[in-house]
Structure 1
Amino acid sequence: MTQSVVVQVGQCGNQVGCRFWDLALREHAAVNKKGIYDEALSGFFRNVDTRSGGDGHDVSKGKICSLKARALLIDMEEGVVNEILQGPLRDVFDSKQLITDVSGSGNNWAVGHRLYGCQYRENIVEKLRKTAEHCDCLQCFFIIHSMGGGTGSGLGTFVLNLLEDEFPEVYRFVTSVYPSGEDDVITSPYNSVLAMKELNEHADCVLPIENEALFDIVNKINQMVKSGKLGSIVKQNSLVTSSAGSTKTLQEKPFDAMNNIIANLLLNLTSSARFEGSLNMDLNEISMNLVPFPRLHYLVSSLTPLYTLADVNIPSRRLDQMFSDAFSRDHQLIRADPKHSLYLACALLVRGNVQVSDLRRNIERLKPSLHFISWNQEGWKTGLCSVPPVGHSHSLLALANNTCVKPTFMELKTRFMKLYKKKAHLHHYLHIDGMEQSCFSEAILSLSDLIEEYNELDASKGGPRRDPSRLKIAV
């Protein structure tokens, strides 16, 4: 059985990670009612003997002694991590796998990447190695972070670099939360573009998620619930944005609903690694099948359904609607429209009582309305996990390598240039050792090159294309 490790960096990364572990435990509890430590649990949890006289080492099989998440929690402010350690999930995290400071990164990528990166490098490497030692077959690192703040963007991408250096053969999957245009962190465009350069160079796959898209989804669900459009009865715990029944504090915070959406995305993404299925998808297969060019590894995600109606016996028409929804703008976790852009490849990860024939039928039904690149017309990858999310009969996560991510990056570049042309706030970055103005010019060049690669694909209308990276080598 393969294992994966989750690295949570910064406030956003730790809040989303906490939601993921909470919901993952609920899923395993719903399936594993006898509390037996099995292969499904071993993918993301260790079984540690903490009983009196126990040495704290892993227990291979049998009754659960104490589940410990395969996780590393990093934040340069103590608040969020301390809150987790005082909450219902406090026993799930190994106290030796935490790294915190008190002053924070001041919304400055350079502080997180250069200052704290150098200061905590050895400590981070030691804890990463310790985590890896507890794995029989380490398959994947998941990094969860935000792009707008200093710790998430700076230290998050520093950890990404370390992972490539220390574990070059282990897959690096990054979930990056992008700030909105009205973000209250004025330096977020700098932080995001500086982080983008690192993601371009060191990640295997990136799931970009926009705060604005999450906000739109939360509002849409709330409006539908209030209007009664979801039907007369909505199942308890069926809203993706709801954390009812989970181990949460009584007073929900503003970003909890948005964080739950990301956590549900990660639940669906990792379901094949945690549960059995007739067509389970190896996590490494996502990169192998969806990333034809190394830098074009940004995948657009969409999640459906966002709710489940009271009637359990869902007719095939509603099942087909779930597939249609996965390709609609309302279910995308970035503000994009893949249907009107060019697909390089697409993966469908389905959970629940769905047959392979249902997958094939819906792919054939949807194909005529989707524009795939000429040399990959059959670029579909499918996964089928038999265990549905709690409160649902089935669900679908679609991952698309699609040129529709380009407008997100173009908008980010525009916001960066508005600040950079005025040299606004640069001094906050340049006083950090090792940080020079050339870091900004290199970062914006990296982003511009990425945008140009998407432009080339769009201009070719999906026709034959030379690999830009090969062109650069040839020159």
Structure 2
Amino acid sequence: MTQSIVVQVGQCGNQVGCRFWDLVLREHAHVNQMGVYDEALSSFFRNVDQRRGAVSTGGRITALKARAVLVDMEEGVLGEILQGPLRSLFSSTQLISDVSGSGNNWAVGHHTYGLVYREQIVDQVRKAAEHCDCLQCFFLIHSMGGGTGSGLGTFVLKLLEDEFPEVCRIVTSVYPTAEDDVITSPYNSVLAMKELTEHADCVLPVDNQSLVDIVGKIQHMSNTGKLGCAIKKDCTIISGQGGVVKVEKPFDAMNNIVANLLLNITSSARFEGSLNMDLNEIAMNLVPFPRLHYLVSSLTPLYTLADVNIPPRRLRPTLPFVPWNQEGWKTSLCSVPPVCHTHSLLALANNTCVKSTFFELRERFVKLYRRKAHLHHYLAVDGMELAGFNEALSSISALIEEYTHLESPLMPNAPRLTIAT
């Protein structure tokens, strides 16, 4: 059995990450009712005998420790974790924090805190890796709009590539809405996108506005009675307490959706099934062009309908495929559905629909950059130069152009693109 390490950076990254740990523990507890430390648990947890201070490799569960590193430059969320129901999953050394935050400034997170905390982060990641028999994947969770998630998050991504170049890097990135209350979020997002394009194997973009819309729609259905009688409210993916603190918070419903995305991606790595898949096969099968590794995710069900059982069926013959990736198909069948569900389906697609999101993000960046608004906050940071903005703008423009080129009927010539080997 292979293992994976989760790296959570920034407030959003840690809140989403802790929803994942809460849900994955519930899932394993539901399946593993005898409390035995098995291969499924070992994929994301160590079994530590606290009396001896050693790792137990089998038998009963003594004390589970998450294979994770938690980073935030504010103490708030990490402090809540140490006081909350998940506190036993993490040792204090796994949590790396500061007090002042990054001030919604990518440069502070990337250059200032990256330099200060580099060795400490590397040390904790190495220690986590040393406890793995077969390290297969890093999952990085962060947001794009703030300073720590975008700046320090992408700094950590580059560290992972430098220290563990052979280990797959899958990044879950939460993108801000156009009405984001962080005025510098377009700067932070575009600067982060350059790093994601260059150093990630796969990126799972999550649109914050889409999360808001999904949660609002399901809550409306439940409250108005439309299909309300058919929805099992206690088993809805967007509901449920736990995670960072015992009382459910407003963003928990949105974070739960992202956590369930990760739950589904990793299910085949954690449980047996009739058709298992290694995590590195995602990039191998879905990313024919290395830079174009932004995968659109679709997850169902987002709520449980009473007395409805949908049998699985093979989808391949019914789906149209883009001409530049006709063989980009991989199926994984896991025998363990999420708790309260009879079935679950996650689809990851690599196509050009992400181009519109990147185009709109670039437009918001250019609107600020044209007026040189707030640039002085970035340029005052050691290591940050104006050239960094120009390079980030060129990078996202090139990415958009490459997606546009794939939509062209002349695409088979594709002289600029290098096929992954």
> Is 1:200 paired with 2:197?
yes
Query: Equivalents in 1 of 2:63, 2:348: separation in Å?
Result: 34
- What displacement does 1:465 show? 3.4
- What displacement does 1:375 show? 4.8
- What displacement does 1:57 show? 1.7
- What displacement does 1:96 show? 1.6
Q: Which runs of 5+ in 1 are unaligned?
A: 320-353
Range with greater deviation from structure 2 (412-421 or 301-310): 301-310
For residue 273 of structure 1, what is the aligned residue in structure 2? 269
- What displacement does 1:170 show? 0.3
> Matches of residues 22-61 of structure 1 in structure 2 within 5 Å?
22-51=22-51, 54=52, 56-61=53-58
Once the two structures are superposed, residues 270-309 of structure 1 have per-residue CA deviations (whole angstroms, 9 ceiling, x without a partner) of 0001111001111000000000000000000011011111
- What displacement does 1:231 show? 5.0
Indicate which of 285, 304, 308 corresponds to 1:289. 285
Query: Equivalents in 1 of 2:181, 2:244: separation in Å?
Result: 27
- What displacement does 1:248 show? 6.7
- What displacement does 1:226 show? 2.0
> Is 1:374 paired with 2:370?
no
Indicate if the aligned counterparts of 2:191 and 2:392 stay in contact, CA closer than 8 A: yes
For residue 82 of structure 1, what is the aligned residue in structure 2? 79
> Is 1:155 paired with 2:152?
yes
RMSD of aligned Cα (Å): 1.5
Q: Secondary structure at the match of 2:65?
A: strand
1:94–1:22: structure 2 CA closer, same or farther, 3 Å change rule? same
Indicate if the aligned counterparts of 1:293 and 1:467 stay in contact, CA closer than 8 A: no
For residue 466 of structure 1, what is the aligned residue in structure 2? 414
Once the two structures are superposed, residues 361-419 of structure 1 have per-residue CA deviations (whole angstroms, 9 ceiling, x without a partner) of x332x32xx3x233533432111001000010001111000100000000000000000
- What displacement does 1:189 show? 0.3
Q: Secondary structure at the match of 1:209?
A: strand
> Matches of residues 81-230 of structure 1 in structure 2 within 5 Å?
81-230=78-227
> Is 1:386 paired with 2:321?
no
1:159–1:248: structure 2 CA closer, same or farther, 3 Å change rule? closer
For residue 332 of structure 1, what is the aligned residue in structure 2? none
1:202–1:467: structure 2 CA closer, same or farther, 3 Å change rule? farther
> Is 1:18 paired with 2:18?
yes
- What displacement does 1:464 show? 1.2
Indicate which of 357, 382, 387 corresponds to 1:408. 357
- What displacement does 1:470 show? 4.8
For residue 401 of structure 2, what is the aligned residue in structure 1? 452
1:159–1:467: structure 2 CA closer, same or farther, 3 Å change rule? farther
For residue 65 of structure 1, what is the aligned residue in structure 2? 62
Query: Equivalents in 1 of 2:33, 2:167: separation in Å?
Result: 32
TM-score under structure 2 normalisation? Answer: 0.97
> Is 1:258 paired with 2:259?
no
1:152–1:375: structure 2 CA closer, same or farther, 3 Å change rule? closer
Q: Which runs of 5+ in 2 are unaligned?
A: none
- What displacement does 1:251 show? 3.6
Indicate if the aligned counterparts of 1:457 and 1:465 stay in contact, CA closer than 8 A: no
Query: Equivalents in 2 of 1:458, 1:131: separation in Å?
Result: 42
Query: Equivalents in 2 of 1:48, 1:269: separation in Å?
Result: 26
1:156–1:410: structure 2 CA closer, same or farther, 3 Å change rule? same
For residue 2 of structure 1, what is the aligned residue in structure 2? 2
For residue 328 of structure 1, what is the aligned residue in structure 2? none
Indicate if the aligned counterparts of 2:145 and 2:188 stay in contact, CA closer than 8 A: yes
Once the two structures are superposed, residues 313-336 of structure 1 have per-residue CA deviations (whole angstroms, 9 ceiling, x without a partner) of x1xxx45xxxxxxxxxxxxxxxxx
For residue 417 of structure 1, what is the aligned residue in structure 2? 366
AA paired with 2:47? N
AA paired with 2:45? F
AA paired with 1:174? V
1:250–1:44: structure 2 CA closer, same or farther, 3 Å change rule? closer
Indicate if the aligned counterparts of 2:105 and 2:378 stay in contact, CA closer than 8 A: yes
Indicate if the aligned counterparts of 1:235 and 1:391 stay in contact, CA closer than 8 A: no
Indicate if the aligned counterparts of 1:8 and 1:17 stay in contact, CA closer than 8 A: yes
Once the two structures are superposed, residues 106-131 of structure 1 have per-residue CA deviations (whole angstroms, 9 ceiling, x without a partner) of 00000000000001111111111111
Query: Equivalents in 1 of 2:260, 2:120: separation in Å?
Result: 31
- What displacement does 1:228 show? 2.6
Indicate if the aligned counterparts of 2:288 and 2:325 stay in contact, CA closer than 8 A: no
Q: Secondary structure at the match of 1:88?
A: coil
Query: Comparing both chains, which one has the higher relative contact order based on Cα–Cα distances under 8 Å and sequence gaps of 6 or more?
Result: 2
Indicate if the aligned counterparts of 1:20 and 1:266 stay in contact, CA closer than 8 A: yes
Query: Equivalents in 1 of 2:133, 2:415: separation in Å?
Result: 37
Q: Secondary structure at the match of 2:235?
A: coil
Query: Equivalents in 1 of 2:220, 2:48: separation in Å?
Result: 45
For residue 339 of structure 1, what is the aligned residue in structure 2? none
Query: Equivalents in 2 of 1:444, 1:159: separation in Å?
Result: 21
